[in-house]
Amino acid sequence: MQGLGGLGSWVDQLASALRLPQAQEYALRLCLEEAVANVVMHGEPDPGAAQDAVAVQVCGAPDALHVTIEDGCAAFDPLRQPAPGGRRSLEEEPGGWGIQLMRQFAASMAYQRVNGTNRLTLTIGREGGDGEGTRGEGGHGKS
């Protein structure tokens, strides 16, 4: 799948295959769209990076989805970004809320820089489901 445009249909297919409850599908979609869009719109490729791409992996377990997003852009730790705080509202400033939304919809977030790669790992809780061991993987070019 190429570009950000294919992400939505990929999440649709994944949600169906994993039989995700609506709330967990929404959380997955929101977190993936925010994380991948941030890389596509703001990421600067690291000099010498092997490719200009974003890799996404989702593993379903009985109680959660484990999501990994990797890119070869310059180091960027979203966990170090401050929350928007009380100085503005979503209505006043609609941009810049993606990381905060991911914090609200993911049960946990972790960041690592591994061999020149940014790795963001999210855990998204889910109720029930039998997606244990089911895995979805996709790559998203920045073009």
Q: For the segment 21-76, what is each residue's pLDDT rounded down to a tens digit?
A: 999 999 999 999 999 988 888 888 777 666 668 899 999 888 899 999 999 998 99
pLDDT interval class at 128 (50, 70, 90): very low
3-state secondary structure of 64: strand
Q: How many Å apart are CA 121 and CA 137, to the nearest integer?
A: 14
Q: Please count the other Cβ atoms lying within 10 Å of the Cβ belonging to residue 138.
A: 18
Q: Quick one: what percent of the chain has pLDDT higher than 90?
A: 47
Tokens of 44: 């600067």
Task: Compare 99 and 129 and report the one with higher pLDDT.
Answer: 99
Q: What is the pLDDT of residue 89?
A: 62
Sheet holding 108-114, edge to edge: 108-114, 117-125, 64-71, 53-60, 135-141
Domains of the chain: 4-141 (3.30.565.10)
Q: How many Å apart are CA 98 and CA 78, to the nearest integer?
A: 10
Residue 103, exposed/middle/buried by CB under 10 A (0-12, 13-18, 19+)?
middle
| Mean pLDDT, rounded, of the chain | 80
Q: Quick one: what percent of the chain has pLDDT higher than 70?
A: 73
Task: Compare 124 and 93 and report the one with higher pLDDT.
Answer: 124
Contact (Cβ atoms closer than 8 angstroms) between residue 35 and residue 102: yes
pLDDT over 50 (residue 103): yes
Task: Compare 83 and 108 and report the one with higher pLDDT.
Answer: 108
3-state secondary structure of 68: strand
pTM score: 0.78
Q: Please count the other Cβ atoms lying within 10 Å of the Cβ belonging to residue 121.
A: 16
